[in-house]
Structure 1
Amino acid sequence: MSYALSGLASRKRSGSEDSWSSSEGRDASMLNVETAGIVATSRSGASTTSTASDEGVVLEASRHNTAEKPPNNKEKGRRRKSVQIIIEESGKKGRYTLTADDPEFQDIVRSSIEREASKLSGKSRNRFRDLVFTRQFTTFDRQNPRGAHSPFYGFFTLFWLAMALLLVKIAANNWRNQGSVFGRAEILHLMVDRDLMVMILTDGGMAFSTVFGLVLQRAIARGYLTWGGAGWIIQSLWEVFFVVSVISVSFYREWSWTHTVFIVLHVFVLLMKQHSYSFYNGYLSRVYRRRKLLEQKLEQLEEMEAQETPGDTSPTPPTEEAISATGMDGASPSTKLHHRRSIGPKYSTNFSKEQSEIATMAKAIEAREPLNAEQIQAFTRGLETEITILDEELRGKCTTTGNCYPNNLTLPNFIDWTCLPTLVYELEYPRQDHINWWYVAEKAAATLGVIWIMIIISQAYIYPVVIEVVRQKEAGLTLDQRWKELPWVVSDMLFPLLLEQLLAWYVIWECLLNVLAELTRFADRGFYGDWWNSVSWDQYARDWNRPVHNFLLRHVYHSSISAFHLSKMGATFVTFLLSAVVHELLMFCLFKKVRGYLFALQLSQIPLAALSKTRVMRGRDTLGNIIFWVGLFIGPSLITGLYLIV
């Protein structure tokens, strides 16, 4: 059974954008709605209504959702008569919280909101893709109703029980062989014996230096620079300097791999945060300048006197199509706001080169060409409508005008953004009402505990293999002799590296990001999807790391299309290429040599993703999932073995 959102009605504007905000996660369980109710209609035509006033959003069931995958035979046979929906007061006048635990309902509501937002904003090649942030929990979070009642919850318990027994086994072997349950703890000594404070100070200085983006944006907002001129060039050069200088410090200090991994990963996180903050605010600065220019033109137009008969040089009056498109037919700008696209580029500030109705009006006003009363009235309505459109763009996701551009360019806002567990900058995000400190303590303890487990597994099963390969190289074994050892090295690290990969993912995307989200009251916990069910590599790339995926989607994929006019295929290739370069750079920092193994395997995901869409693989989800897990199982140990041996 599938649903389609047939309409969004009676949204309260009161100077604010829709409060439906969101990332592309699929597991939303709570939505902030400015409407008062929901009407759910079943296939049979009967309806269940929950309303608090006459306003509402209509959710209509259809035979299938054309934007989604058609239901399979099992889904067709499973027809539910109702879906439980809870609507609670949010504490703010006219706003309510909708809660629905049903996964199908959540998926369809999110996709419907995104489609509606796409219709409202037009289907032009926007500079920035509009993401939607909603209230939701991660899959393995105990707060998630779906996770707590999952039929596979017992396997989650079994996994951690197995981890506990594994640690007991390792401790017993260490006690028997070395007289200590901790063994020699070489990895722990690598982490704490040398340059620990230097690394912490470097990390702090690195985070503090990101305030450069705030300083630059404030200078642009005050008119000292323009983003379209020198602004974006200065920011880009700073980002290059930022990455190169931090990586150079790690090389100069000859840090161990533990320090290097932490610093390099954090430098790229801060790089993406700076880029998103600066380029989005830079775009808004151009919108802000355009609005100011149009306001100036509107003031000039008000000072002009209407001519009874236009001269020969007067501009041609707007056509009926232009009047209808720009809201000049007598209707108020707010009425036409969501039934049209902006008459010109929202960020253009050069009316002499711009080809649009607004540019024509601006040039006519600037030239002081004689206009009759009808033309002045039409020009006034067109300019006011365009200014209203730009006001909405500057407001973004803000539910109040207090944080819209340029009011958001403050140090508290920047610090708050730096701490948020997202890489895509927005003016406002859905927030929780309070912090659950017991939850913070629970997740913080889990973070430290999982890191400790990873250290013990690395010490027991990975470190000895690495040391043996290094010893063989130092002993003078030829490359041919070392090649013969590759299969054994790969087999020895298969299970430990797969386990480390799973634990590293869990500690970052389930534990650490949830700690940051709780401390910042960040409500959208859609940090990952069910990537373990992936049937193709492009699905895995979308689901296993949603924050980075959203960043690449907005600032690489869609920016490549809008700024460089690439095709979708070209933008996809550029996105994978950039990801491959960054992964190979991490390998270079770790092994101090360039081999390109990881770079090649990253790019191989493009043909593999294309293969999954062919007739041979289409519909064979089990086979696709097997191929995915085989690659995830063998890939890390194969790559590590290649970099160690060659």
Structure 2
Amino acid sequence: MVQRDENGDDKRNSTAGEPPAAFLLTVTMDGDSDENAGVSSTAEGNGAGGGEVKQIRPTITVGTTTPSTTDIHNSLLTAIEKQCQRIEGMSSTESASASSPMLVATESTDHHHATAKSSKRAKRRGKFSDLVFTRNFSTFDRQNALAASSPFHGFFTLFWLGISLFVIKIGAENWRLHGNPLGRNEILRIMFHRDLAVLLIADGVMCFSTGFSWILQRLVRRGTVDWDREGWVLQNIWQCLFVAGVVGFPLVRDWPWTHTVFFVMHGMVMLMKMHSYAFYNGYLASVWKKRQLLLAKLKELEHVEVVTKHDPNRSWTEPFPLLPRDLSTEHLSRVPSAQEYKERRRMSVAAQGADGGQEAPEDDVDKIVAAIDSREPLDEEQVHVFERALKWEVDAMTDELRGKATDDKRVYPNNLTLANHYEFIVLPTLVYELEYPRSESINWYYAAEKMVACFGVIFVMIIISQAFIYPVVMETVRMKEIGMPLSERFQYFPWMLADLIFPFMMEYLLSWYLIWETILNFVAELTKFADRSFYDAWWNCVSWDQFARDWNRPVHNFLLRHVYHSSISAMKVDKHTATLITFFLSACVHELVMWCIFKKLRGYLLFLQMFQLPLVSMSRTKWMRNRKTLGNVFFWLGIFTGPSILCSLYLIL
């Protein structure tokens, strides 16, 4: 996955072969590039009610002299007839539509039509963030040729060999002392003691309940609900109720921490999926609604009264006071695309947020609609410019509605099916797109390998927890039960920290490997999801913002699109404030999970996660900027001490 950072620079995963030229791939129907004339126009699939979204991008090729308005008008009519007759089965070179009477040189290309579209897709920018899903393998996957040929591959082998010998040693000692390789086996008894079937049923109901977002989007598409008015409010109310149910049900059932962690964490995943599905489709619904409005205005424009100043058959009435020079027509010289459309939206938001700024370019369309609605007579030049501006906007919106989709069944609103919704629910990604790269088939041997690895890692984690973490936890429980004062318990804190630092470090690494390498790859293989860049080389991080980006790519992509970029566009905040909002929201969710586990609201994790922001600022100072090794040392010190300190604080206090 490719991601552009806040400065617009590209970043690429080391495994490449994340979110923003991305969800804007266009499939168009182009007429042949005519040698003399053409026109940018729009073909409406099945009309306003729905159906296939198609786009026509012919071209006006202007000579060395500026043609008159009448000549341009005749050329437009001729070109439209040609395009309608020759549209089927044609492919054409990509060219830019010209604005009249501006001179535009069109540039032809020798590449195949699909190649031209692919190159355009790679440059598209998204509304929430620029995301590109590509075929990738995760770093530690055996199918990743780069990882297999890495000079550090032997350390990966050494790590697992050391883990295996360590587990064998613990198992042998448990067998000698307790007659069981798992020792007293308290953790397994906690996991399977009760409510395992209830947990699985509740999890299934929770996943099924995400269908509310699909129902809401269907109502939005039918026009029963207006997304921009009450639709997004209903979605947020449902999300609050969903969180309350996910958090409250384990409390009501008094589940052990193993059940609670699984259910709450999976609930947060479903919450992010619902939000991404609803708000992306809600945005597309707004684009669709406006596109239908502009198509209707184009129809009205065909019947508008056209006057000339020297018409001898009627008295002159001054046309509607909206002259072509009052409109922004510079963009009409470029090919209408989702990229251009989104850039104009971005400029509009920036202009609206600036005091004393110029009127937003997006308001030009509203001016034209107002001029048409006024029923005032227009002159020929106004009609021509209005028509071209509306067609440009409609073509750009068509491109936006197609997104990445290469199949018309996935183009909005055709994507609003129950199957499409639940397909997204099971895919190993948190960011909704109309289409993802998919593998051709399922490698069942590979899937079985990942499943065995998953259970193997869980077994190792249980062994380590049973041997080194569970006894320490039980000791703190005993101290509280006998009424030991807090001051005396704090005296035990350094020794508890020393006992937990290495086991927690091991559990931290194994938990990450379990989720991002085994489970996500297993699900990706079963669903044929081809972009498996679930993480980057976070172990080389020199700052905490880099760690936040690299160690959990799915969550980072969600926060980047739906929190960071949405904060900038919706709340009109700057990048620093958006970063603060993103970190704070993430910290609150993590603290919520800790509250569900320990039944205590202390804020330790919230504080430590927010403390990463000044550490990020420190890493960007002149003193630290070029000291990569020192930055990596500080990072690993935090990873070593953070989990054990947090657990000790929640247990002692």
TM-score range, shorter-chain basis?
0.7 to 0.9
- CA-atom RMSD in angstroms: 3.0
Report if the CA contact (8 A) 2:26-2:400 is conserved: no
- For 2:222 and 2:295, the matched residues in 1 are separated by 17
Report if the CA contact (8 A) 1:394-1:404 is conserved: yes
Report if the CA contact (8 A) 1:494-1:637 is conserved: yes
Aligned partner (choices 523, 530, 533) of residue 523 of structure 1: 530
Task: Tell me which residue corresponds to 2:520.
Answer: 513
Report if the CA contact (8 A) 1:325-1:340 is conserved: no
Report if the CA contact (8 A) 2:305-2:376 is conserved: no
Aligned partner (choices 323, 327, 339) of residue 317 of structure 1: 323
Task: Tell me which residue corresponds to 2:105.
Answer: none
Which residues in structure 2 correspond to 1:65-144 (within 5 Å)?
A: 94=114, 116-118=123-125, 127-144=127-144
- For 1:479 and 1:187, the matched residues in 2 are separated by 27
Following superposition, the deviation at residue 23 of structure 1 comes to: 9.6
| Structure 1 residues 113 and 147, CA gap change in structure 2 (3 angstroms) | farther
SS at match of 2:318: coil
Report if the CA contact (8 A) 2:497-2:648 is conserved: yes
Following superposition, the deviation at residue 519 of structure 1 comes to: 1.1
| Structure 1 residues 289 and 55, CA gap change in structure 2 (3 angstroms) | closer
| Structure 1 residues 127 and 475, CA gap change in structure 2 (3 angstroms) | same
Task: Tell me which residue corresponds to 1:46.
Answer: none
| Structure 1 residues 337 and 636, CA gap change in structure 2 (3 angstroms) | closer
Following superposition, the deviation at residue 284 of structure 1 comes to: 0.6
Task: Tell me which residue corresponds to 1:401.
Answer: 408
Following superposition, the deviation at residue 347 of structure 1 comes to: 11
Following superposition, the deviation at residue 379 of structure 1 comes to: 1.1
| Structure 1 residues 399 and 316, CA gap change in structure 2 (3 angstroms) | same
Task: Tell me which residue corresponds to 1:232.
Answer: 232
| Structure 1 residues 355 and 500, CA gap change in structure 2 (3 angstroms) | closer
Following superposition, the deviation at residue 645 of structure 1 comes to: 0.5
Following superposition, the deviation at residue 325 of structure 1 comes to: 2.9
Following superposition, the deviation at residue 129 of structure 1 comes to: 1.4
Task: Tell me which residue corresponds to 2:241.
Answer: 241
Aligned partner (choices 532, 538, 555) of residue 548 of structure 1: 555
Report if the CA contact (8 A) 1:34-1:95 is conserved: no
Runs of 4+ in 1 over 3 A off after TM superposition: 22-26, 31-35, 92-96, 333-348, 352-355
Deviations 1:375-433 (A, max 9, x none): 21221111111000000111111123321111110011111101111101111111111
Report if the CA contact (8 A) 1:430-1:522 is conserved: yes
Report if the CA contact (8 A) 1:24-1:131 is conserved: no
Aligned partner (choices 490, 498, 512) of residue 483 of structure 1: 490
- For 1:258 and 1:127, the matched residues in 2 are separated by 39
Report if the CA contact (8 A) 1:344-1:357 is conserved: no
Task: Tell me which residue corresponds to 2:261.
Answer: 261
| Structure 1 residues 477 and 552, CA gap change in structure 2 (3 angstroms) | same
- For 1:268 and 1:127, the matched residues in 2 are separated by 24
- For 2:600 and 2:308, the matched residues in 1 are separated by 78
Task: Tell me which residue corresponds to 2:205.
Answer: 205
Q: Match of 2:140, as an amino acid?
A: F
- For 1:588 and 1:341, the matched residues in 2 are separated by 41
Report if the CA contact (8 A) 2:542-2:629 is conserved: yes
Aligned partner (choices 402, 426, 433) of residue 440 of structure 2: 433
Task: Tell me which residue corresponds to 1:594.
Answer: 601
Deviates more, 1:174-183 or 1:411-420: 174-183
- For 2:607 and 2:568, the matched residues in 1 are separated by 24
Deviations 1:217-276 (A, max 9, x none): 000001000111110000001001001112111001111010010011001000000000
SS at match of 1:117: coil
Q: Match of 1:575, as an amino acid?
A: T
Report if the CA contact (8 A) 1:462-1:493 is conserved: yes
Task: Tell me which residue corresponds to 2:279.
Answer: 279
- For 1:458 and 1:257, the matched residues in 2 are separated by 13
Q: Match of 2:477, as an amino acid?
A: V
- For 2:379 and 2:518, the matched residues in 1 are separated by 66
Task: Tell me which residue corresponds to 1:502.
Answer: 509
Report if the CA contact (8 A) 2:430-2:554 is conserved: yes
| Structure 1 residues 183 and 336, CA gap change in structure 2 (3 angstroms) | closer
Following superposition, the deviation at residue 518 of structure 1 comes to: 1.0
Report if the CA contact (8 A) 1:217-1:409 is conserved: yes
Task: Tell me which residue corresponds to 1:74.
Answer: none
Following superposition, the deviation at residue 346 of structure 1 comes to: 11
Following superposition, the deviation at residue 599 of structure 1 comes to: 0.7
Instruction: Indicate whether 1:27 and 2:15 are aligned.
Output: yes
| Structure 1 residues 343 and 364, CA gap change in structure 2 (3 angstroms) | farther
Task: Tell me which residue corresponds to 1:582.
Answer: 589
Aligned partner (choices 461, 470, 473) of residue 466 of structure 1: 473
| Structure 1 residues 426 and 645, CA gap change in structure 2 (3 angstroms) | same
- For 2:264 and 2:442, the matched residues in 1 are separated by 30
Instruction: Indicate whether 1:381 and 2:369 are aligned.
Output: no
- For 1:419 and 1:335, the matched residues in 2 are separated by 35
| Structure 1 residues 500 and 602, CA gap change in structure 2 (3 angstroms) | same
- For 2:13 and 2:229, the matched residues in 1 are separated by 36
Instruction: Indicate whether 1:291 and 2:291 are aligned.
Output: yes
SS at match of 2:324: coil
Q: What is the number of residues matched between the two proteins?
A: 543
| Structure 1 residues 619 and 339, CA gap change in structure 2 (3 angstroms) | same
TM-score in terms of structure 1 length: 0.80
Aligned partner (choices 617, 629, 632) of residue 610 of structure 1: 617
Task: Tell me which residue corresponds to 1:194.
Answer: 194
Following superposition, the deviation at residue 324 of structure 1 comes to: 3.3
Following superposition, the deviation at residue 113 of structure 1 comes to: 8.3
Q: Which has the higher strand share?
A: 1
Following superposition, the deviation at residue 321 of structure 1 comes to: 6.8
SS at match of 2:307: coil
Task: Tell me which residue corresponds to 1:77.
Answer: none
Report if the CA contact (8 A) 1:444-1:515 is conserved: yes
| Structure 1 residues 134 and 540, CA gap change in structure 2 (3 angstroms) | same
- For 1:153 and 1:634, the matched residues in 2 are separated by 27
Report if the CA contact (8 A) 1:257-1:590 is conserved: yes
| Larger relative contact order (Cα-Cα within 8 Å, sequence gap ≥ 6) | 2
Following superposition, the deviation at residue 459 of structure 1 comes to: 0.7
Q: Match of 1:491, as an amino acid?
A: A
Identity within the alignment, %: 50
- For 2:248 and 2:593, the matched residues in 1 are separated by 13
Following superposition, the deviation at residue 95 of structure 1 comes to: 6.3
SS at match of 1:319: helix
Following superposition, the deviation at residue 311 of structure 1 comes to: 2.3
Q: Match of 2:297, as an amino acid?
A: K
| Structure 1 residues 24 and 549, CA gap change in structure 2 (3 angstroms) | farther
